Amino acid sequence: MARRTRILYIQHAGAIGGSAMSLYYTVRGLNVERYEPMVALIRPAEELRELYRRAGAEVIDWPGVVTFEHTTAHWCSLGRPLCWVHQYKLGVGLGRSMARVEALAEATRPDLVHLNSVVLFPAAVALWRRNRRFIWHVREHPVPGHLGLRRRLLGWGLMNLPAEVIFLSEADRSAWVRGERGVVVENYVDFDAMQTAERSAARVRLGLPADAPVLLYLGGLSRMKGVFVLLQALVELQRRLPGLRCLMPGGVYPPPASWKSRVARATLPLVGSGTEGQTAERFIAEQGLAEVCRRSPVTTEVADHFAAADLVLFPATEPHFGRPIIEGAAAGIPAVASDLPGASDLIVDGVTGLLVPAGDAGRLADAVAQVLADEGGRRAMGQAARAAARERFDVARGVSRIEALYEQTLGERPRQPPVRASH
């Protein structure tokens, strides 16, 4: 039997989320006779180890690699003191971090490296220095920043480093690079996994009333995901929709994972409103939303949540790809989402869901009430969403496109690295 092609994935995230699940679907969908996947975790976590082992990959803990945080998912603003620590670590530890990436590639000897985020810019530079073939998967939208210097640096890397670049949407691609650089491969979803639960049985397992209006939100307690817009809308909706429940898997404030988190939770309430999670939990308590918000720990087992829901909510305040929208579509559930890049190109407004202005809790509440009041229209939207998603987000079709990029990259001679940044 011929030797399989060794693909090394470097995963930046330290918890279950959109990027982690997208990588899981990629690894699980690979042709096992052709490819041998390895996943290196730069922020090791048992839940991620188990996830990728279940997908069939060898998992390697490889801490010591720093990330370059400058996207809508996480911007290290110079106005946030907690980010100063990260900026310091990035500056002081950059050389050591790049050496760690080079050592990882030397230890695993991959045929190709797949970087799972734009924030792995230091890893991209390290791979370029050693003339290693790699794919760079950009899952984030850029932020302007203060002066735009960091954004331009990342954009230069995406334009000039010798890698195939994958974007999740045309909006992301045009925001990061110029011309025809890069390709768009939208996220994908396993349709079979979203069809395993029956509605009434799922509601029983989740402890939900059979006839309650049920919403589903999968953004945790993150401001960027729109948790505060959601909570403000729920204050209004609980008056208009008796018995309303909002499922929030990932909505339980997790234990602090680092000393920075512990310090933030202890000190921020003394000088302000606290962390995002603390502020959200206090709002839920003060507004009497504890019964409405059915919060639970983060999980990869969400089929019951989708089966039980009438509507998916994606009230993001910053542009990013709306994985819950396509997962809901696969389950035949329409979505109400913010009219931002990353969501607006996933929804045909009025056909597969509704779009509302980002940050407008009143419009969000009105849209939710509108959809829930029309059961026939809601079902039609869900069916249309599922039909459209079949054409765009099927996992087999998406992974085959990734494999084609692997073969294209492996068949190319390495490009000469750029000498300097253009101005």
Q: Minimal CA–CA distance to 253: which of 291, 289, 210, 282? A: 282
Sequence ranges of the domains in the chain: 5-188+394-411, 193-392
The reported pLDDT for the residue numbered 3 is: 85
The kind and range of the H/E element at 83 are: helix 81-108
Domains 5-188+394-411 and 193-392 share a fold: yes
The reported pLDDT for the residue numbered 420 is: 36
Both structure tokens of 339 = 């009219």
Q: Domain 5-188+394-411 falls in which CATH fold?
A: Rossmann fold (3.40.50)
The reported pLDDT for the residue numbered 319 is: 93
| Average pLDDT over every residue of 180-202 | 89
Q: Minimal CA–CA distance to 125: which of 91, 155, 162, 90? A: 162
Q: What does the H/E/C string look like for 63-74?
A: CCCCCCCEECCC
Of the chain, the percentage scoring pLDDT greater than 90 comes to 75
pLDDT in tens, 148-163: 888 999 999 999 999 9
pLDDT band, residue 415 (cuts 50/70/90): very low
| Average pLDDT over every residue of 375-390 | 96
pLDDT in tens, 61-86: 999 999 998 888 877 777 666 676 66
Both structure tokens of 393 = 């987000």
DSSP 75: B
pLDDT in tens, 194-223: 876 789 999 999 999 999 999 999 999 989
pLDDT band, residue 417 (cuts 50/70/90): very low
The reported pLDDT for the residue numbered 419 is: 39
pLDDT in tens, 316-328: 999 999 999 999 9
The CATH architecture one would assign to domain 193-392 is: 3-Layer(aba) Sandwich (3.40)
The reported pLDDT for the residue numbered 146 is: 79
Residue 97: burial class (beta carbons within 10 Å; 0-12, 13-18, 19+): buried
Name, in order, each residue with C-beta under 8 angstroms of 55's C-beta and a sequence gap of 6 or more: 24, 27, 28, 37
pTM above 0.85, yes or no: yes
The reported pLDDT for the residue numbered 209 is: 93
Amino acid at 170: E
State the helix-helix crossing angle for 18-29 and 46-54, rounded to 10 degrees.
30
